[in-house]
Amino acid sequence: MKRGSLIVSIIVVIVVVAVVVWALQSTPRPVDVVSVHRSALVQHFDEEGRMQLPRRWLLSAPIAGTLRRIDLLQGDAVKAGQVLAVIEPARATLLDPANRARLLAEEQAALASMQAAQQRLAGAQVDVALASRDVGRMRTLGASGVVSVATLDEAEARLGRAQAAAAAAVAERRAAAQQRAALAALLSGQGRGGGQEIELRSPIDGVVLRRYQESAVPVQAGQSLLELGDLDQLQVMVQTLSQQAITLRPGSPAQILRWGGEGALPAQVVRIEPGGFTKVSALGVEEQRTLVWLDITAPRAQWAQLGDGYRVEVRFEVERRPDVLQVAASALFRDGRRWAVYRVDGGRARLVLVQPGAQGDAEVEIIEGLRPGDRVVAYPDDRMSDGQRVHPLDTSPQEPGR
């Protein structure tokens, strides 16, 4: 009886294990599947950009003076030749009482010096007249031999000294007069303007981008007052990675995304700057980037809300291939050093090695390993194995274009 019971128990255990194994093997795993198909494949990359004017005009003060209040606001339209700002030339400074008293004293001293020089001039002119008469008499007497040559020379020397003294007195009087005139002008010109007002006019038809001064304030020569620009010339400036910029050419198509309006705006590359620069990313990685400029080809009225400095996102189209065998990128995974997918074949997942090609937005070109119409697991994980029973879900994602 004991031996029979043992045999029965063993049989029961074997049957239970077989039932469990059969139940586990017979229950297929539900999976999402996608189809391998042929359609257009677009290679692109996205970058952040901003609207920027390639040219702008900066109005600066040409002279030092007082700027009148500028009533224009940022965004106001201006016409070429329109008066935008007026500058009054700098006024003479007001003198404090001590300096004014000192200058008055210097003016009086200059007047006294001028009067003294006038007196010296009068005395020198008398000496010149006397010496001239003496020389005339000496020359008459010298001709008759009454006066010696030495006496005549001495008389002519006195005449020369008298003439020099008279010339010096004239120069002293002129210098004193000029000093007095300068001091009088300084005293009388306190707080007065120094010339005609200067009008600054707009060089273009455009808008005011920035206003650096608002109230009436003193300004120095070269100080910035207004910045102008023509918003019809707005372009998109993008700092792209240098290895991505190499794939672009002038005329390459692009799209402006998430700019604040409806839909995407068509654009094209117009200029790729040859110089690069180093920029540190948000993760602290140094990157070599360069500037790429684009024109928006849509009508200006469609994106009239965009202004200088506005942020946009740009999608650059690198290559467009019209007929490519492709599958969802999420279906591919690494199997060692090769890429692979799980192809659904007869209710089972079969491991298939593939050779991927160009990368699209969410699709990958398949060069080798699959055929059009094959169905593959859309999201394989590490719990899936070759030969595992699977059940494709009816809610499986559909590939683009189908």
Whether residue 242 sits in one domain with residue 108: no
Cα(318)–Cα(249) distance, integer angstroms: 9
Whether residue 250 sits in one domain with residue 237: yes
Q: So what's the pLDDT on residue 401?
A: 43
Indicate whether 267 belongs to any domain: yes
How large is the average pLDDT for residues 4-11? Answer: 73
Cα(158)–Cα(389) distance, integer angstroms: 138
- Summarised one tens digit per residue, pLDDT across range 110-133 is 888 888 888 888 888 888 888 888
Indicate whether 224 belongs to any domain: yes
Whether residue 150 sits in one domain with residue 136: yes
Cα(180)–Cα(188) distance, integer angstroms: 12
- Summarised one tens digit per residue, pLDDT across range 294-333 is 999 999 999 999 999 999 999 998 888 888 999 999 999 9
Please answer whether residues 321 and 39 qualify as being in contact, where contact means their C-beta atoms are separated by less than 8 angstroms.
Answer: no
- Summarised one tens digit per residue, pLDDT across range 138-173 is 777 767 666 677 776 777 788 788 888 888 888 888
| Complete edge-to-edge strand list for the sheet that includes strand 224-229 | 57-60, 224-229, 206-211, 77-78
Whether residue 149 sits in one domain with residue 80: no
Return the bridge partners of 325, or none.
Answer: 38
What's the CATH number where 73 sits?
A: 2.40.50.100
- Answer whether 0.85 is exceeded by the pTM: no
Say whether pLDDT at 371 is over 60.
yes
Q: Of 342, 330, 340, 334, which is closest to residue 374 (Cα–Cα)? A: 342
The token pair at 334 is 């690494």
CA 68 to mean position of chain CA atoms? 29
- Summarised one tens digit per residue, pLDDT across range 190-240 is 555 556 788 899 998 999 999 998 888 888 888 999 999 999 999 999 999
Whether residue 256 sits in one domain with residue 207: no
Indicate whether 25 belongs to any domain: no
Whether residue 244 sits in one domain with residue 164: no
Cα(225)–Cα(87) distance, integer angstroms: 11
Cα(241)–Cα(226) distance, integer angstroms: 34
Domain boundary among the residues 321, 354, 375 is at 321
Say how many domains are in the chain. 3
Domain boundary among the residues 270, 287, 321 is at 321
Please answer whether residues 240 and 290 qualify as being in contact, where contact means their C-beta atoms are separated by less than 8 angstroms.
Answer: yes
Q: Of 230, 272, 233, 235, which is closest to residue 251 (Cα–Cα)? A: 272
Cα(130)–Cα(128) distance, integer angstroms: 6
Expressed as residue numbers, the domain containing 49 is: 45-53+233-321
Domain boundary among the residues 294, 321, 348 is at 321
| Backbone angles phi and psi of 270, in degrees to 5 | -115, -25
- Residue 205 or 5, more confident: 205
Indicate whether 204 belongs to any domain: yes
Indicate whether 336 belongs to any domain: no
Indicate whether 84 belongs to any domain: yes
Range among 171-180, 202-211, 389-398 with highest mean pLDDT value: 202-211
Q: What residue type is 141 in one-letter code?
A: L
Q: So what's the pLDDT on residue 21?
A: 63
Q: Which residues neighbour 75 within 8 Å (Cβ) at sequence distance 6 or greater?
A: 207, 208
Q: Which helix (H) or strand (E) holds 167?
A: helix 149-188
Cα(134)–Cα(60) distance, integer angstroms: 71
Q: Which residues neighbour 349 within 8 Å (Cβ) at sequence distance 6 or greater?
A: 31, 342, 343, 377, 380, 384, 385, 386, 387, 388, 389, 390
The count of C-alpha atoms lying within 13 angstroms of the C-alpha of 88, restricted to the half-sphere facing its C-beta, is 13
The token pair at 337 is 């050093």
- Average pLDDT, rounded, for the chain: 84
Cα(11)–Cα(3) distance, integer angstroms: 13
Indicate whether 387 belongs to any domain: no
What's the CATH number where 263 sits?
A: 2.40.30.170
Cα(24)–Cα(187) distance, integer angstroms: 111
